[in-house]
Chain A
Amino acid sequence: GDSVTQMEGPVTLSEEAFLTINCTYTATGYPSLFWYVQYPGEGLQLLLKATKADDKGSNKGFEATYRKETTSFHLEKGSVQVSDSAVYFCALSDLTDSSYKLIFGSGTRLLVRP
């Protein structure tokens, strides 16, 4: 079945460092890809998404490009802030059947130090 694999955390960075969180997927169809963020003690928020190959999703300085050839959707940010400390989830959904079910990766905790 479909699955999502994320790099294990925690990822600890200093403020203004460059961030990459790796995400790869396995899918039989042609999924849409998402990054969600969960700040401490809060619910889940959509960070960005991409629905087709070579699409780049971006939001709040974060970017991810849908790479069909490598089945990847790595999350990047050029300069992280302390406020970016959170858990980041990569997810996929096969929307071709009008279903909005999501399959999540295991999550990657990011800790940014001042």
Chain B
Amino acid sequence: SAVISQKPSRDICQRGTSLTIQCQVDSQVTMMFWYRQQPGQSLTLIATANQGSEATYESGFVIDKFPISRPNLTFSTLTVSNMSPEDSSIYLCSVGRSGNTIYFGEGSWLTVV
């Protein structure tokens, strides 16, 4: 099984500020995925982070709001920029492994006040 560590696990942020979430995987993976789960809602894919290239964003998500870095094959960051209360969500990092298994981190629970 994959071990995925996310930081921070929880945070309370002031509106207008930015927060960077880190995702560390215990072994190398080609693609890492970032999801958002708004309160009481399902999970929505924000973007796919590939090492050595720009992230690929899903419809409704833009790089200016959610810049992503992928400096190596075990690490990625997602920044939530200029936060508003609508950004209060759980942000989750995910990776896939051979054997068709997809793993999630514990999530970063953000509250914007």
Indicate whether B27 reaches chain A with its CB closer than 8 angstroms: no
Q: By the criterion of a CB under 8 Å from any partner CB, how many residues of chain B are at the interface? A: 23
- Among the listed A42, A100, A103, which residue makes an inter-chain contact with B96, where contact means beta carbons less than 8 Å apart? A100
Residue pair B102, A46 in contact (C-beta under 8 Å): yes
Chain A interface size, as a band, is: 20 to 34
Q: List 17 A-B contacts (CB under 8 A).
A: A43-B104, A43-B107, A44-B92, A46-B101, A46-B102, A49-B100, A49-B101, A93-B96, A93-B102, A99-B31, A100-B95, A101-B45, A102-B43, A102-B94, A104-B43, A107-B41, A107-B42
User: Can you list the 5 inter-chain pairs with the closest CB atoms, starting with the nearest?
Assistant: A100-B96, A43-B106, A43-B107, A44-B104, A104-B42
Residue pair A105, B42 in contact (C-beta under 8 Å): yes
A107 to B39, CA, bound (A): 12
Main secondary structure of the interface of B (DSSP, over half): strand
Residue of A nearest to B95 (CB): A100
A101/B48 contact (C-beta < 8 A), A44-B104, A93-B102 known: yes
Contacts of B106 in A (CB 8 A): 42-43
Contacts of A32 in B (CB 8 A): 100
Indicate whether A89 reaches chain B with its CB closer than 8 angstroms: yes
Chain A residues 18 to 53 lying within 8 A of chain B, measured CB to CB, are 32, 34, 36, 42-46, 49, 51
Residue pair B42, A100 in contact (C-beta under 8 Å): no
Contacts of A104 in B (CB 8 A): 42-44
Contacts of B105 in A (CB 8 A): 43
Residue pair B33, A100 in contact (C-beta under 8 Å): yes
